[in-house]
Structure formats: C-alpha cells, structure tokens
C-alpha cells in the first residue's frame, strides 16, 4: 500500500510564548498574516491560529483580533485554517470557543484534559541567560494561573456548541490519560470517527518528549481507536524537530511553528515560522516521504472543505 503523504501543520503564534522571548514571534495582525502565508508557501497545509492583542502581544480570544488577519489568509492561500479553542489559561471555555463558533473554520483544537500547563523553562535552557523564571512567584504563588482547565463539562460544552459547524477537531492530547478521555467521549457519542489526534510532548505538566513516549502514545491510540484515527505529533521546545522527524518516519503527520518552539536548532532561535516548516519539509522529503497539499490534507482528514 502506498504510504500516505505527511501533513505539515504550522502553529503560528499560540499563547504560551511572549514577545520578550523572541523577536520572531508574530503578534500584530500584519505579522500573523505574513508569517502564516509564508508558512503555507513553505509547505504547511494546515495553519493553526491564535490571535494576540497587537499592542502588547498578550493572548486574545477577541474576534476583533482575528478579523483583521483571517480573511487575508483565506484569500491568499488555500491552506486549511485551524482556529485554537485553547485561548489562554485563565479564560472560560465559552470565551475560548467563541472565535471558532464565530468564524466556523475547517478545523479547530479540542483540548482533552485538565492539567498543570507551562512552557518547560529548564528543558529549553541552553545558557544562564535563557528563560529566567521565579519558581515562587510564577509557579507557587500564581499556581492557579498554571491550570489548563478542560473538564468533561468544558469538553461537552465545546463539542455541543461547535457540532452544528461540522468542524474537524484537532484533539490535543498532552498525556496518555487524555487518550482515554477521548475514547470515553467517543464511546458516549460526543465525537465521531474518523478523529484527528495531536500527540503533544514536552509541556511542563504533560508527558515528556522522549521517543519511548511517542511509541507508547501511538501504541495506546492504536489499541483504543484502531483505524478510526489519524495522528500528528507536536514536540514543545527543543524536542520539536526530532519528534516530528520520528513521527513522520512512523507514518504520522507533524506540527511545527513558533507556538510550540521558538528554536530552529539547539539553542538557536528560528527567524520565523516558515523556517521551521522548510526545515521539517526538507527532512520529511529527504527521508523519502511526500508532503501533502492542502487538498490532500482535506481528503486525508475528511474535512468539510
């Protein structure tokens, strides 16, 4: 059987990193649009999008902060638009799903469990100047702001509200328990096959970025979902490229982008999203696989198109 092509998703800006961490992180409307188009041109067939407040780069779920760049992206590329429902950690599920509800994209994220959630400052530290943080202030005193809440009620609210829009979910699974949550939700009829799972490694609070863990997550998903799922891998931080490479060799799809990692190689910041897409595309193709076009991604993932 011919090997299925590899879908590259690019997550352009996210909500975890701050503009103080890298000059390349886009947060104005123009920059988000430009980097999204460059990423599509470089080979990304899916663009996973968050909005930010253009003044200070803080995460935004305000539809007024999506409206200036979404139509520009849709006009200038046929890449699949995927809108985040992750928003930021302190927001309610209603606020988080509002952009997807308003713009009804082909895809949106669906986070599959509650957890502690942060960028891993130690795993991504290459010099003493990197990623300074204050354990007492950032993690102990502000620990309520490190909880990413995705209870079953939240998941149901998101699924029920978005159901009429026929949006394909990118099921974000940050640990093996989230696969079991997803299976449970399928068993009770909340989500229907075929599903698309994003295996996520390297978030502080989730499963670590070791290849063993990728094999374990894949084996678990095979057991739980059989042929009813497609999958992709996202390594947060410095593990991004090696996990994406391994995933593509295992027959999976890949996600890169500055939402997930600011680096292009060990300790070196990426100049932009397109550089990461070009790098993983080169690796995927050098190792003998083919990259999917947006329409091929639509077919593989059974999108509304």
| Contact positions vs ligand KMH (CB under 6 A) | 14-15, 84-86, 88-89, 109, 111, 117, 148, 172
Report the residue number, 5 or 47, with the smaller CB distance to Zn ion. Answer: 47
First to last CA, the chain: 26
Instruction: Judge whether 22 and 8 are in contact, CB under 8 Å.
Output: no
Angle between helices 240-249 and 211-225 (to 10 degrees): 40
Instruction: Judge whether 264 and 275 are in contact, CB under 8 Å.
Output: yes
Task: Tell me whether residue 192 is exposed, middle or buried, using C-beta atoms within 10 angstroms of its C-beta: 0 to 12, 13 to 18, 19 or more.
Answer: exposed
Give the C-alpha separation, 175 to 87, whole Å: 19
Sort strands 46-49 and 80-83 into parallel, antiparallel or unpaired: parallel
What's the min distance (Å) between Cβ of 196 and ligand KMH? Answer: 13
Residue 59's H or E segment, with its range, is strand 59-60
What's the min distance (Å) between Cβ of 127 and ligand KMH? Answer: 27
Nearest residue to Zn ion, scored by beta-carbon proximity: 84
Give the C-alpha separation, 276 to 42, whole Å: 9
Helix ranges restricted to H, the chain: 29-42, 63-66, 70-76, 93-103, 152-162, 176-187, 211-225, 240-249, 273-286, 294-301
Report the residue number, 61 or 179, with the smaller CB distance to Zn ion. Answer: 61
Report the residue number, 60 or 77, with the smaller CB distance to ligand KMH. Answer: 60
Q: For 210-221, b where at least 16 C-beta lie within 10 A, e where not — what string?
A: eeebbeebbebb
Q: Which of Zn ion, ligand KMH, none lies near 9, with the C-beta cut-off 5 to 8 A by kind?
A: none
Report the residue number, 5 or 119, with the smaller CB distance to ligand KMH. Answer: 119
Within 68-127, the residues that bind Zn ion by CB under 5 A are 84, 86
Report the residue number, 59 or 252, with the smaller CB distance to ligand KMH. Answer: 59
What's the min distance (Å) between Cβ of 180 and Zn ion? Answer: 22
By CB under 5 A, the count of residues binding Zn ion is: 3
Cis ω before 162 (30° cut-off from 0): no
What's the min distance (Å) between Cβ of 128 and ligand KMH? Answer: 27
What's the min distance (Å) between Cβ of 44 and ligand KMH? Answer: 16
Q: Which of Zn ion, ligand KMH, none lies near 117, with the C-beta cut-off 5 to 8 A by kind?
A: ligand KMH
Q: Which of Zn ion, ligand KMH, none lies near 240, with the C-beta cut-off 5 to 8 A by kind?
A: none
Q: Which of Zn ion, ligand KMH, none lies near 119, with the C-beta cut-off 5 to 8 A by kind?
A: none
C-alpha closest to that of 172 among 11, 5, 3, 7: 11
What's the min distance (Å) between Cβ of 282 and ligand KMH? Answer: 26
Report the residue number, 5 or 198, with the smaller CB distance to ligand KMH. Answer: 198
What's the min distance (Å) between Cβ of 22 and Zn ion? Answer: 17
Give the C-alpha separation, 25 to 23, whole Å: 6
Report the residue number, 29 or 169, with the smaller CB distance to ligand KMH. Answer: 169
Q: Which of Zn ion, ligand KMH, none lies near 181, with the C-beta cut-off 5 to 8 A by kind?
A: none
Nearest residue to ligand KMH, scored by beta-carbon proximity: 86
- Residue ranges that bind Zn ion, judged by CB under 5 A: 14, 84, 86
């Amino acid at each position: 059987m011919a090997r299925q092509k590899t879908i590259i998703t690019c997550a352009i800006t996210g909500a975890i990193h701050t503009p103080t961490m890298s000059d390349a992180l886009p947060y104005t409307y123009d920059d988000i649009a430009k980097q999204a188009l460059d990423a599509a041109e470089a080979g990304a067939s899916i663009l996973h999008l968050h909005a930010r407040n253009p003044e200070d780069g803080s995460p935004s779920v305000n539809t007024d902060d999506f409206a200036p760049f979404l139509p520009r992206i849709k006009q200038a590329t046929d890449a699949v638009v995927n809108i985040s429902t992750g928003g930021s950690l302190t927001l309610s599920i209603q606020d988080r799903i509002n952009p997807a509800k308003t713009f009804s994209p082909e895809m949106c994220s669906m986070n599959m469990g509650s957890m502690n959630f942060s960028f891993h400052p130690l795993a991504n530290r290459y010099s003493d100047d990197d990623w300074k943080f204050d354990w007492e202030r950032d993690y102990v005193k502000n620990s309520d702001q490190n909880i990413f809440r995705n209870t079953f009620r939240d998941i149901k609210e998101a699924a029920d509200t978005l159901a009429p829009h026929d949006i394909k979910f990118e099921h974000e699974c940050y640990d093996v328990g989230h696969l079991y949550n997803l299976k449970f939700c399928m068993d009770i009829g909340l989500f229907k096959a075929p599903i698309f799972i994003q295996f996520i490694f390297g978030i502080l609070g989730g499963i670590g970025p070791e290849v063993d863990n990728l094999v374990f997550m894949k084996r678990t998903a095979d057991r739980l979902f059989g042929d009813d799922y497609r999958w992709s891998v996202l390594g947060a931080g410095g593990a991004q490229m090696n996990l994406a490479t391994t995933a593509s060799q295992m027959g999976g799809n890949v996600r890169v982008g500055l939402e997930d990692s600011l680096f292009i190689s060990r300790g070196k910041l990426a100049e932009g999203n397109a550089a990461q897409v070009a790098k993983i595309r080169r690796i995927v193709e050098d190792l003998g696989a083919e990259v999917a076009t947006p329409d091929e991604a639509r077919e593989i993932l059974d999108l509304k198109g």
